[in-house]
A and B are shown apart, each in its own frame.
Chain A
Amino acid sequence: MTSPAASESRSSTDMDRKAAMAVLAQTRPEDLAKAYSSLPVAPDYDFVRPPETGLVMVRGRTGGSGQPFNLGEATVTRCVVRLAGGQTGHAYVLGRHKTKAVHAAVCDALWQCETSRPLVMASVLQPLKTRQEAEAARLAAETAATKVDFFTMVRGDD
């Protein structure tokens, strides 16, 4: 499982497919649309599975690490595309945004082609990842400012 911390520790250049999908899923629809439109050539694709919104039941674990239980559902939109070159791309993203799912699926397909990977990395994935990391850092810094410093009398035994 890719934890937020684990995906951050990887450098942006060796992003694997799952990490790339995580970046796409995490991105706001409008940010993804903007990055997508910055691709030098608009990708040519067909739908294998047009975007469809459904539900995924989110599970938690009893006590945090015990037996699973069903917490509640979340909306998810999925999509499968095939590029003109034949490569398919998949997307499963939280929310009901169909365009976002299409963009994510196309980017997934582009990432899988050796030839187009550098392009999608440079135009879409790396800029979005940099932005997400900056947002995460800002949130972490704001949170850290509310950390409690306890003042205790020194007892001298440690």
Chain B
Amino acid sequence: MYVAVKGGEKAIRNAHKLLANRRRGDRSVPSLTLDQIAEQLALSVARVMGEGSLYDEGLAALAIKQARGDLIEATFLLRAYRTTLPRFGYSTPVDTGAMRVERRISATYKDLPGGQVLGPTFDYSHRLLDFALAAEEEGDLPEPDRACHTDAPMPRVTDLLGTEGLIEPDPAGDPGAAVGDLTREPLAFPADRDLRLQNLARGDEGFLLALAYSSQRGYARTHPFTGEIRYGAVEVEFYAEELGFEVPLGTIKVTECQMVNQFSGSAKAPPAFTRGYGLVFGQVERKAMAMAMVDRALRWQELGEEQTAPVQDEEFVLSHSDNIQATGFVEHLKLPHYVDFQAELDLVRKLRAEWFAARDGAKTGTQEAAE
């Protein structure tokens, strides 16, 4: 029960003023610029864009600065901002096969057309703190090495192997079918794969990571191989009615992950490798992998598998993946609940009085019986 409570205006005003000061911190330290955040905290920016479900590096950088680096708060700011803008429409689906690849690895095939390119990765680093970065001046960084490159295409691994029939093909679906959109219709169950993927793409990285991890540890049977991870720029095109053709809008960076899972077959499908799919804004590899594993686990019904674990429960997964909804409900507990609590207090007092009365009554009764 919510009751309007008056008062505290001045305290709130002053708290906001204090927050603005604490956010800025020590004035002798230079203020962060949005370019610095976008360039040097690019992975935070990517995470906020993905979970905020809004691709705009400048806005995400601003949100991170305003939120003092609290990435869920920053995501919240982005989600709130997007509601102020009109929707022009839907893009043509991006073609990740034509990606300008900056990283591409496969854990299933060593030699594949286009090869394995590591790109900018933390993998193979020793996770030792680099105190050179703590120095005031970082010094001159050597330019990255360059090597000859060809414009040879880099087909998706899953497209290469699909021809053998060993790996399930992509679901063709009905070309005329409407594509579900969570920003237009609230989530309803059962949710089709398009809705599930949209939900996971904007889901909390930590939540998806924990679910994916649970599936590896035996809560649902997934034994995935990383078929491919690729990161790079894809062109976005938008069909403009007034022009009658698909207008190129520019490029965005995305990470795509194809997980390949062993599948021994069922009444519904022959033995083959099945796939889980992850696609996220920016270089957010951990989440793309987790998303692909959770996507695969949620397909248990379609593949005729048994449901045994939370990661397979679409209602559980999809209802709790959104960190803005989650934080809203958890943090609302900070709001005044004075009247609710007063009612509960009266109730507990009454119950206690009854409990003591019953105990004392029983004691007296026992004593009387003994005498």
Specify which chain A residues have a CB less than 8 angstroms from the CB of B233 in the assembled complex.
4
CB pair B85–A68 under 8 Å, yes or no, is: no
| Minimum C-beta distance from B86 to chain A (A) | 4
Specify which chain A residues have a CB less than 8 angstroms from the CB of B129 in the assembled complex.
none
Specify which chain A residues have a CB less than 8 angstroms from the CB of B245 in the assembled complex.
18
| Minimum C-beta distance from B49 to chain A (A) | 8
A70 in contact (CB, < 8 A): yes
Specify which chain A residues have a CB less than 8 angstroms from the CB of B86 in the assembled complex.
52, 54-55
B126 in contact (CB, < 8 A): no
CB pair A93–B146 under 8 Å, yes or no, is: no
| CB contact list, A24-82 vs B, under 8 A | 25-26, 52-76, 78, 80
Partner of B149 from the list A9, A59, A143 (CB cut-off 8 Å) is A143
With the chains together, A129 CA to B129 CA distance in Å? 41
Cross-chain pair count, CB within 8 angstroms: 255
| Minimum C-beta distance from A76 to chain B (A) | 6
A13 in contact (CB, < 8 A): no
Partner of A56 from the list B58, B89, B170 (CB cut-off 8 Å) is B89
Interface of B is mostly: mixed
A153 in contact (CB, < 8 A): no
CB pair B247–A143 under 8 Å, yes or no, is: no
B15 in contact (CB, < 8 A): no
With the chains together, A148 CA to B105 CA distance in Å? 9
Size class of B's contact patch?
35 or more
B136 in contact (CB, < 8 A): no
Q: Mark A86-98, 1 if CB is under 8 A from B, else 0.
A: 0000101111100
Known: A72-B53, A136-B100, A148-B115. A57 touches B91 (CB 8 A): yes
With the chains together, A26 CA to B234 CA distance in Å? 11
Known pairs A2-B248, A71-B201, A148-B118; list 19 more (Cβ under 8 Å).
A1-B246, A4-B235, A9-B151, A21-B247, A55-B54, A56-B87, A57-B90, A60-B96, A61-B170, A62-B277, A65-B97, A71-B254, A73-B53, A74-B249, A96-B59, A142-B144, A143-B119, A147-B115, A148-B117
Give A residues with C-beta under 8 Å from B: 1-6, 8-9, 18, 21-22, 25-26, 52-76, 78, 80, 90, 92-96, 136-148, 150
Give B residues with C-beta under 8 Å from A: 49-50, 53-56, 58-59, 82, 85-98, 100-103, 110-111, 115-119, 144-149, 151, 153, 156, 158-159, 169-174, 177, 179-183, 193-195, 197-198, 201-202, 233, 235-238, 240, 242-243, 245-252, 254, 256, 258, 275, 277, 279-281
